[in-house]
Amino acid sequence: MNVPALSPEDITALAAMVDADRFSTGGSVLDLHARDQSHHHARKPDVVIWPTAASEVMAIVAYANDHRLPVTGWGSGSSLEGNPIPVRGGIILDFSRMNRILSIQEENFQADVEPGVIYQDLNARLRHTGLFFPPDPGARATIGGMIANNAGGTTTVRYGSTKDYVLKLTVVLANGELVDMGCRVKKSSSAYDLVRLFAGSEGTLGIVVKATIRLVGLPAEFSATIANFPSVETASRAVFELIRAGLDPAALELLDAECIQLINQEKDLGLNVSPTLFMEFQGPTLNQLSETMEMARDICEDAGCSEFRTGLGRAERNRLFEARHELGEMVVRNHPDGRIRVMDMAVPIATYPEMIADARRELTASGLSGYIFSHAGDGNIHINVVGEKDNSAQWTQVDQLTDKLVQKALDLDGTATGEHGVGIGKRQFMETEHGGSLAWMKRIKTLFDPNGILNPGKIFPSS
């Protein structure tokens, strides 16, 4: 039984700040905001509030600061490391109703959005303009949640992650003050880059109430390819060579045979069941693309590829990438009695083959069931390991495997998280990963949030 963080007086005071239908202490609402899509334990907030204006956020956060109440931002709750779980209860600010696309400035390749805009909805609105917002975590994530987690996805290898697309932010600080940061220019050498400090801070430094994001032109032509390999090791060698050759794929995904089997079973795609690379290349003309494809074929064949299939049409390409995006959910669906731990780490590309080989070896040695899939082009590896829900001994084994593989990534000069963020699950690695700079991060946190009200219990190892 959790002790409420809010008193009845707090509930009354906060309820007066918004319309009645945007404030709830109802059990089912609290339950829905008690966990994200991760394996981490649920914790209910005391209240959920749906702000629709920056002024409301300012008033709520200022009250919370005066009364030392935890405040946690909530986008779609699709995080995979417990990032929005209100581990100390308190207030959830759910941004799903603060979701207006404020303006689209085609001539400047920019859009101003509220934090609750779902990125797929923005891209649907942009379709007729020939522009798009590239970061694509797959889940129906909000732009506020993507900024907070610095989300990436299949296109990060070419386009970069969310941080690379944020030009300006309007943020409510812990004392309720509203601050604008950044500028509309693509490059700037002007003073400290607060936008990049706040992006990736998981709502621990301030609450984003508006963002100006950068858009890019939709590519004129694309070509999608599937390459099969006898082992994940040979496939990962091809990944390294493709990147080294400077082929600049727009997506370069590695899926092990278990993933392919699952996709075939659910989507009836008839793919060869073996470790597979899904690739996409983009360019101005088909001629240029066909040269790139020939080079990719040579590289894959040299690495031991057993089949290389090009010329996939748009429909087939979309089916493949849809299946790739749904893999996480497929794993959950196929293990109804299991609990899934989603691992996420990244290594420099030169060490990617070693990391993949080690992951495969450790997974097999553990006897646990798991699926390896990877945004391979940027050295980012995911393993979804399945444990029985109530088998605590097995769950300890899953934790040990995670620790071992994250440590391996760090030993290879990699990172404990390529895109899912630190949340709850990666806190214990922060000391090892960041060494002395972690103390400076703590000072930054204390400077912006001296009372520790913003998304407490995240990023920093628990003391």
Ligand X SMILES: Cc1cc2nc3c(=O)[nH]c(=O)nc-3n(C[C@H](O)[C@H](O)[C@H](O)COP(=O)(O)OP(=O)(O)OC[C@H]3O[C@@H](n4cnc5c(N)ncnc54)[C@H](O)[C@@H]3O)c2cc1C
Q: Interface with ligand X by CB under 6 A: which residues? A: 36-37, 72-80, 83-84, 95, 115, 137-139, 141-142, 144-146, 148-149, 151-153, 202-203, 207-208, 328-329, 419-420, 455
Phi/psi of residue 167, nearest 5 degrees: -100, -45
C-beta of 68 vs 140, nearer to ligand X: 140
Phi/psi of residue 18, nearest 5 degrees: -135, 170
Give residues with Cβ within 8 angstroms of 218, minimum separation 6.
Answer: 130, 131, 132
- Least spacing, CB of residue 54 vs ligand X, in Å: 11
Phi/psi of residue 375, nearest 5 degrees: -80, 75
C-beta of 150 vs 292, nearer to ligand X: 150
C-beta of 155 vs 225, nearer to ligand X: 155
- Least spacing, CB of residue 343 vs ligand X, in Å: 13
- Least spacing, CB of residue 83 vs ligand X, in Å: 4
C-beta of 155 vs 234, nearer to ligand X: 155
C-beta of 329 vs 431, nearer to ligand X: 329
- 3-state SS record for the chain: CCCCCCCHHHHHHHHCCCCHHHEECCHHHHHHCCCCCCCCCCCCCCEEECCCCHHHHHHHHHHHHHCCCCEEEECCCCCCCCCCCCCCCCEEEEHHHCCCEEEEEHHHCEEEECCCCEHHHHHHHHHHHCEECCCCCCCCCEHHHHHHHCCCCCCHHHHCCHHHHEEEEEEECCCCCEEEEECCCCCCCCCCCHHHHHCCCCCCCCEEEEEEEECEECCCEEEEEEEECCCHHHHHHHHHHHHHCCCCCCEEEEECHHHHHHHHHHHCCCCCCCCEEEEEEEECCHHHHHHHHHHHHHHHHHCCCCEEEEEECHHHHHHHHHHHHHHHHHHHHHCCCEEEEEEEEECCHHHHHHHHHHHHHHHHHHCCEEEEEEEHHHCEEEEEEEEECCCHHHHHHHHHHHHHHHHHHHHCCCECCCCCCCCCCCHHHHHHHHCCHHHHHHHHHHHHCCCCCECCCCCCCCC
- d(Cα 203, Cα 74) in Å, to the nearest integer? 9
- Least spacing, CB of residue 329 vs ligand X, in Å: 5
Phi/psi of residue 313, nearest 5 degrees: -75, 175
C-beta of 151 vs 296, nearer to ligand X: 151
- Least spacing, CB of residue 276 vs ligand X, in Å: 17
C-beta of 96 vs 369, nearer to ligand X: 96
Looking at the DSSP bridge assignments, the partners of residue 382 are: 344, 373
- Least spacing, CB of residue 269 vs ligand X, in Å: 18
Closest residue to bound ligand X by CB? 145
C-beta of 79 vs 274, nearer to ligand X: 79
- Least spacing, CB of residue 286 vs ligand X, in Å: 29
- Least spacing, CB of residue 459 vs ligand X, in Å: 9
- Least spacing, CB of residue 202 vs ligand X, in Å: 4
- Least spacing, CB of residue 61 vs ligand X, in Å: 11
- Least spacing, CB of residue 266 vs ligand X, in Å: 14
C-beta of 73 vs 275, nearer to ligand X: 73
C-beta of 6 vs 87, nearer to ligand X: 87
C-beta of 23 vs 95, nearer to ligand X: 95
